[in-house]
Amino acid sequence: MVEDSLSPAAITDGLATRFIGQEVSCYPSLPSTNDVAKHKARQGAKEGTVIVAEEQTAGRGRIKRRWLSPRGSIALSIILYPELAYLPSLIMVASLAVAGSIEQVTNLKAQLKWPNDVLVNGKKICGILVESDVRGNKVDYAVIGIGINVNLKLSDYPEIAPMATSLSQELGRDVSRHEIIRSLLTEAERLYLALPDGDSVFTQWRNRLVTLGKKVQVGSGKATYRGIAESVTADGSLLLRQPDGNLLKIVAGDVTLR
């Protein structure tokens, strides 16, 4: 059993980042790390400030879905002040950073499923929620919320067991959350700082998507579409080739591989 109570000192000590993770607040329990991060951002928190909770009692994913974050998982949010042009890329930064940190710390192979799921052995291991406040052409702030199933016994949560997994479930042992977080913050900063250099982050994200080239079903709003997930655009939208040959651009939705 890994003794792994989260603390700011254990996360920041020797962390080789310029700003992401240099300011960390840890809480025993929060309804939502994103809500605290947004509040701190409105108060002028430094860019790169990280909010971490041992557990979330009202964690949420996209489309207001509930995200389970019991003790033993990672629930954190990163405060950023990006330029407007980089806002669509934050989901790419986050998902690549999660996948990279999982691979570096555990040697497990991580895959990405459009738009924001990280998978291990075909099951969801992480959820990501980016929230922002935009006024005109200026981003007041953006918050990246990340939840990773680390030391989670899936038999205790039968409602998610068919579609989810955890690092401990895959490895048969507990994993240091501090190691995952430190690797995650390092990767997130590296990728975030690479955004002005062109489309390298987008290319890495696109190349990791297991969705592309597959027959899929996409739920978007109240509509359902079927076809081949042909490609993605630089803003993160999915290009779906429908059975009639039409190419449909889907900005937001949920994909099921068929």
Q: What is the pLDDT of residues 113-161, one digit of tens each?
A: 988 899 999 999 998 999 999 988 899 999 999 999 999 888 888 887 7
Does the pLDDT value for residue 1 go beyond 50? Answer: no
Give all domains of the chain, ordered by start, each with its CATH number.
8-207 (3.30.930.10), 212-257 (2.30.30.100)
Mean pLDDT in the chain? Answer: 89
Does the pLDDT value for residue 216 go beyond 60? Answer: yes
- pTM here is 0.92
Residue 87 in 3-state DSSP? helix
